[in-house]
Amino acid sequence: MSKRTQEVSDVAVKLDEIGYWSEIKLDIISKYATAYSKIMNSQKSIRAHCYIDAFAGAGVHITKGTQKPVPGSPLNALMVEPPFTHYFFIDLDGEKVQLLREFVAGRKNVGVYEGDCNPILLHEVLPKVRYDEFKRALCLLDPYGLHLDWDVVCAAGQSRAIEIFLNFPVMDMNMNVLWGDPERVSKDQVARMDVFWGDGSWKQAAYRKTQGLFDTIEEKTSNEAVAEAYRQRLIKVAGFRYVPQPMPMRNTKGAIVYYLFFASPNKTGNKIVEDIFNKYRIRGMA
């Protein structure tokens, strides 16, 4: 933690408190970002490799327990060596964006955007990363809940130039959409899930029909079944060639809060992330 991070984190912005698994997420992404930047930097044909953080946050968090400030994903990316060619940070929260702008002041290769990342990614950022112009990007999509549009994920997959880490917010889904009785779920929540998934086919993944005594009953499937159906969509619909098994991220009670997905057009990236995920999976079981 630099002195500057410590000083700026003392300002009045309400910072997020993060637990053990969020720190693991930050570690995983930093490790891969370093490997990615090294590989891209060494490839003479690549003209630019960018880092995109779509739900960037303030750039600093507070660790639960110790209450110490810890750098968030955008600041970690800025520390990667060799550096990325360009950085794009986006957040909806004006105060967080202001703090992030203070951190990156004077850095010409960083763009900070305030607003909903979905249209910003689709219309301003992703079109800048073109495969045929030999540009590539690593993009972190890390919402709290169902705030990511499938169109963004699809655009990244179809670009063949962009790799993503994606927070698959299974806790928001379970709390608000994937109820035992689907009839009771509000239309608004169903609409949120449709936008995240891209269509209504999540219902087939989340429920199975069984024959009751008098009627067919809809029964909920598991978190794993829903995540696997999404993994298949990343491959078959979005067009990512490689999507390893996602990493379940748990709270202190052991419940899965979200799955961390990685999706990539590159075999090498896939292999590196599988190795990183496996190391943390073993640690998580210990």
List of residues contacting ligand SAM (CB under 6 A): 26, 55-57, 72-73, 90-93, 96, 116-117, 140, 142-144, 147
Sheet containing 69-71: give its strands across. 17-18, 60-63, 69-71
CB 9 to ligand SAM: min, Å = 13
* CA atoms within a 13 Å half-sphere pointing along the CA-CB vector of 247: 27
Phi/psi for 224 (5° steps) reads -60, -40
Rounded Cα distance between 166 and 244, Å, is: 12
CB closer to ligand SAM out of 217 and 255: 255
CB 264 to ligand SAM: min, Å = 19
Rounded Cα distance between 177 and 145, Å, is: 12
Please state, in angstroms and as integers, the Cα–Cα distance from residue 193 to each residue in 56, 196, 255, following that order: 22, 5, 21
CB closer to ligand SAM out of 127 and 209: 127
CB closer to ligand SAM out of 93 and 228: 93
CB 214 to ligand SAM: min, Å = 44
Q: Which residues pair with 258 in a beta bridge?
A: 249
Using CB atoms, what's the residue nearest to ligand SAM?
A: 72
CB closer to ligand SAM out of 195 and 229: 195
Inter-residue contact 8 to 60 (CB < 8 Å): yes
Inter-residue contact 277 to 244 (CB < 8 Å): yes
CB closer to ligand SAM out of 144 and 179: 144
CB 132 to ligand SAM: min, Å = 28
CB 142 to ligand SAM: min, Å = 4
